[in-house]
Structure 1
Amino acid sequence: MELKDLDLNLLVVFLQLLRDRRVTTAAEALDLSQPGVSSALNRLRKLLGDDLFYRTGGGMQPTPYAEELAEPIGEALALIQQTVNQRSTFDPLASSRRFVIAMTDVGEIYFVPSLMRAISKVAPGVTISTVRNNRVTLKEDMEDGKVDLAIGLLPDLKTDFYQRRLFRQGYCCLFRVGHPFDGVPFGVEEFAAAEHVVVVSAGTGHGKADDLIERSAIRRNVRLRVPHFVALPYILEETDLVATVPERIALRLASSFPLRYVPHPLSLPEIQINLFWHAKYHREAGNQWLRTLICETFSE
């Protein structure tokens, strides 16, 4: 077969079917009709002389030949897209592009206000949407361009991803002004005697720190568990509860609410907050611009 006989769009359909394993799902992702995807698959089968996929109860399963083709075709199409994007330009003053950034709710509290101030000065038409960085489809969404960047402690984003460190931070204990522990040394005994509110955040850097506390010899008196940080300052200012939080969040919340923070009495490791992006968009001009802006705004 000669390359001139091959429509590259057929390979795009092939890779989407490999990812989704269902014609209907692949059609939705590609914005095509289901018959259109089936027709493309039939054309590719004739060109390559292989069934490529066979139907099972679990969806479309690739043949051994399709599995052999998957990696080299994926790399080839990624290189083509990267080469085309490399020549594109991005004018922040004129752009009305919407960028999607994956981060936790605690990331929204720390990053979003300063980021939006910075964007409003240099790119008044650009908009930002945030999504959670612990979503199970994050890798695929970033590869597909549905999510532009991710911020946090994300050890699963390794292969095919670039990353840059923004900063490292430790942990503090946060409580209200006028708390019984306000103004007195806050050590391990005080930590053990306090009543605590815990933000349940599995799979994040904060979740790992909380696991270390649970495995330590110190037993916390946990009176409240909440699934996010948004309500935390309102809870703390009205109660005698104590919260373990990253130090930059403690600083941000204490500047807006009547709260105090002190160094954490337990030896918790610092966490590193990184900026991540998919290799496919490493040279894409808009992605480069936003990465640069975030690094200039937040990097140590």
Structure 2
Amino acid sequence: MKIARFDLNLVRILLALDQARNVTLAARSLGLSQSGFSTALAKLRRESADQLFVRGPQGMEPTSRAQELIVAGRELVSRFEAELHGARVFDPGADRTEFRIAMSDISEMALLPKLLREISAVSPKCSIRTLSVFPDEMAAGLESGQIDLAIGYIPDLNSAGIYQQQLFMHTFTCLLRKDHPLRGPKLSKAQFESLDHVIVMTPIRSQELVDRTIEARKIRRNIVIRTPHFLSLPYVLAQSNLCATVPAAVGEAHTSTGLVRTVEPPFVAPKFAVHQHWHRRFANDSRNKWLRSMIFRSLGPQ
């Protein structure tokens, strides 16, 4: 029987009549008129192809088919009420699950190590899968539950039903090889323009902010390499006098290689907000709420 055409209110009719064994009393318990109850009972009889209840010395007696349906109906109602009033709460210490988080390679480099430490300490049976997803596919993934959360600067993720929470503000820095002849903590405009540059061409929208800033200030930038990869930058820069302008988290992560160092750009670097995003379908889901709280605790304002 297809749920689309079956009237679930008929389950209430079945259970009420089993409880009262009297049509008038059963109708009264549901706030229905006797004629309305009788009409619904007739429909239930047609759907089941059985009389369901027949008159006996103790009132309306259920048939064997009705008894089967009554057991199924009670179980259905009981399970639904249990879910409605007592939804299972995610237990991070005991549950085994895989969290699916959409993030860029920048976020993986800068945020994933700390996040993994925090989650593993509290939820040792859980694992993390990072996903590389284009912004136009991200909303559908969040709505379907294939993606639990998306983290980053994602201004295109503005579909109805997408919630967000700011984690922190971010900015940009410049990278040079560690023994670059230009010393000092900050580049002058003349020094910046005298250098050859490598830029990373990715779908990450934050890079557009620094490109627009450089263009708006009419600062020249001689670009000799365009690459889609942030991970290769330390090795490219270590063997050249090139300069790369990157998100500060990338710069900080790359300095750990010992191959490069960070310097301030010759302009006020733009700032941008990094958010975590989720769909409203999972706003009250205990598993999703726990993950969001862990991310905010790990990566939010310190």
Instruction: Tell me, yes or no, whether TM beats 0.5.
Output: yes
Answer yes or no: is 1:247 the counterpart of 2:248: yes
For 1:265 and 1:84, the matched residues in 2 are separated by 59
One-letter amino acid of the structure 1 residue matched with residue 173 of structure 2 = C
Alignment of 1:73-88 (within 5 A): 87-88=87-88
SS of alignment partner, residue 136 of structure 1: helix
Residue number in structure 1 paired with 2:12:
none
Residue number in structure 1 paired with 2:269:
268
**Mean CA deviation greater in 204-213 or 92-101:** 204-213
- Give how far 1:183 is off: 3.0
1:205–1:84: structure 2 CA closer, same or farther, 3 Å change rule?
farther
Answer yes or no: is 1:165 the counterpart of 2:159: no
> Conserved in 2, the CA contact under 8 Å of 1:198 and 1:222?
yes
Answer yes or no: is 1:156 the counterpart of 2:156: yes
Give TM-score, length-normalised by structure 1.
0.69
Residue number in structure 2 paired with 1:145:
145
Structure 1 alignment gaps of length 5 or more: 9-79
Answer yes or no: is 1:288 the counterpart of 2:289: yes
1:84–1:240: structure 2 CA closer, same or farther, 3 Å change rule?
farther
For 1:115 and 1:263, the matched residues in 2 are separated by 27
Structure 2 alignment gaps of length 5 or more: 9-79
1:141–1:189: structure 2 CA closer, same or farther, 3 Å change rule?
same
> Conserved in 2, the CA contact under 8 Å of 1:170 and 1:271?
yes
Q: Which of 1 and 2 has greater Rg? A: 2
Query: C-alpha root-mean-square deviation of aligned residues, in Å?
Result: 2.5
For 2:244 and 2:110, the matched residues in 1 are separated by 17
For 1:161 and 1:87, the matched residues in 2 are separated by 23
One-letter amino acid of the structure 2 residue matched with residue 114 of structure 1 = K
Answer yes or no: is 1:210 the counterpart of 2:211: yes
Answer yes or no: is 1:118 the counterpart of 2:114: no
1:165–1:133: structure 2 CA closer, same or farther, 3 Å change rule?
farther
For 2:176 and 2:196, the matched residues in 1 are separated by 10
List per-residue Cα deviations over 1:135-168 (Å, max 9, x = no partner): 4311111100000001111223332111111111
> Conserved in 1, the CA contact under 8 Å of 2:178 and 2:258?
no
1:191–1:181: structure 2 CA closer, same or farther, 3 Å change rule?
same
For 2:200 and 2:84, the matched residues in 1 are separated by 44
1:192–1:218: structure 2 CA closer, same or farther, 3 Å change rule?
same
One-letter amino acid of the structure 1 residue matched with residue 246 of structure 2 = V
For 1:91 and 1:107, the matched residues in 2 are separated by 27
> Conserved in 2, the CA contact under 8 Å of 1:134 and 1:204?
no
For 2:134 and 2:264, the matched residues in 1 are separated by 28
For 1:157 and 1:239, the matched residues in 2 are separated by 38
For 1:202 and 1:134, the matched residues in 2 are separated by 8
**Mean CA deviation greater in 273-282 or 251-260:** 251-260
Alignment of 1:164-203 (within 5 A): 164-183=165-184, 185-203=186-204
> Conserved in 2, the CA contact under 8 Å of 1:100 and 1:129?
yes
1:5–1:170: structure 2 CA closer, same or farther, 3 Å change rule?
same
Residue number in structure 2 paired with 1:224:
225
For 1:115 and 1:217, the matched residues in 2 are separated by 39
One-letter amino acid of the structure 2 residue matched with residue 161 of structure 1 = I
For 1:120 and 1:293, the matched residues in 2 are separated by 11
**Mean CA deviation greater in 228-237 or 95-104:** 228-237
- Give how far 1:214 is off: 4.2
- Give how far 1:228 is off: 2.0
- Runs of 4 or more above 4 Å deviation: 83-86
For 1:186 and 1:88, the matched residues in 2 are separated by 56
SS of alignment partner, residue 295 of structure 1: helix
Answer yes or no: is 1:100 the counterpart of 2:89: no
1:248–1:142: structure 2 CA closer, same or farther, 3 Å change rule?
same
> How many pairs does the alignment contain?
225
- Give how far 1:110 is off: 0.5
One-letter amino acid of the structure 1 residue matched with residue 235 of structure 2 = Y
1:85–1:171: structure 2 CA closer, same or farther, 3 Å change rule?
farther
One-letter amino acid of the structure 2 residue matched with residue 293 of structure 1 = M
